[in-house]
Amino acid sequence: GRLEAVTQQMGYHPQYLDSFLKTQHYLMHMDGPLPFDCRHYIAIMAAARHQCRYLVNLHVLQFLRAGGDPQWLRGLDFIPPKLRNLNEINKILAHRPWLITKEHIEKLLKISEWSWSLAELVHAVVLLAHCHALASFVFGCGCEQDEGPGGRGLLKPLSPGNQCFCEATTSNGCSQELLRINRKRSLDSCMELDSLRERMQRIHVEAEGREETRLLQQDREEGEGQGAEVIYKVGVTEHHSDPPAGLSPLADSDGEVTGATNLACYMQDPDFGYQDFARRDEDQTQVFRVQDYSWEDHGFSLVNRLYSDIGHLLDEKFRMVDGLQGSAIAKRQGCEPSVFKRGIWNYIHCMFGIRYDDYDYAEVNQLLERILKVYIKTVTCYPEKTNSEMFDRFWKQFKHSEKVHVNLLILEARMQAELLYALQAITQYMI
């Protein structure tokens, strides 16, 4: 009867949670260009790029509930060519979105009987970006981590396949909408709204108290030298393309690697990953300038025209995360909340080659500590390399809700970056 893990974490910021759940529900369960089983399979493909077993398991069961062919779950070799052709753009969007061109779009739209329509492709692109960014949040907040000795308690996965996020909790009407839809399985796990809100508030208060107590005890038990050694071990500059040293992929508390053995069938070219965006001062065309193509002026209208209403939901979500109260976390950094949040947002976009002409990037180094930049870059670019040490030990000065806030900024900034590149390529194709 506990809350689903992603919902549980986002619940520290209820207004954002409402906006997220509306978008999630619309993408997966409401009318749209793509069949319901294909939506969940695309989500599986996207999550597999980051070895996110949590999201893969969730969407595998949702795929079956939607009437999907079980044979598809054997891997990409067993799915229709039309879906399999999406693999290339999935791979590029997940790791190096700046490589997407109008030729990739043209190839998908002009493959005879297996061609995509523009509306279908926009739906698919939004799904891919949504799931890539959500994988960052899942790893960043530890939703993949099991509860164990010294574990984070609330971050234990909560049998994700039984319900999707919007079925678990919402105050935006998704639960009521689901009850009106003819479903094969009951939604007995849904709770009354008032009881849910009280429960979430109680859980969060108790969690903050337990976390502070645990960290104080950990500080007493650990020697200063050990702490310094750990910091030295993972400290890297933000210019390195490889993940911080000492972070093994998906290593559990016993050191056992639980990697992507069973997820490999859902992706091709597994070695393709993030690389630092090339700095070419002599070739400024490589840089994506927001002044030339922005979400507000270009992306929003295009996506909303081809996939009705999704633009409004995405725009609300982008605005919601920007409007979250972050005075405490910003005060700790000695700046205004808006300045601190913009520093994180622009730093993430900069890693994907997106630049704002009206921003002084020297502010990033002034606002963000080195350890914080390491964390942000890891969760953004290779989230599967994130481990509990980065979340717990190096963020002792932040409350849990503040850590979740930063992870929400990572989620939305990354999603918008992927969408900008994909939508720009679609725009260029249409021209």
Residue type, 311: G
- Rounded (5°) CA angle 234-236-237: 160
Q: Report the phi/psi class of residue 75: left, alpha or beta, with left for phi > 0 and alpha for psi in -120 to 50.
A: left
Rounded to the nearest angstrom, the gap between the alpha carbon of residue 270 and the centroid of all alpha carbons in its chain is: 19
> Is 166 designated active site?
no
Distance CA 259, CA 400 (A): 27
To the nearest 10 degrees (0 to 180), the angle between helices 118-140 and 36-48 is: 50
CA nearest to 210, candidates 144, 137, 147:
147
Q: Where are the alpha helices (DSSP H) in 190-240?
A: 193-221, 224-234
**Run of H or E including 416:** helix 400-430
Catalytically annotated residue among 38, 52, 174, 381: 52
CA nearest to 383, candidates 127, 46, 51, 96:
51
Q: List, in order, residues 6 or more apart from 266 with CB less than 8 Å away.
A: 44, 45, 48, 56, 75, 76
**Run of H or E including 354:** strand 354-355
Q: Which residues are catalytic?
A: 52
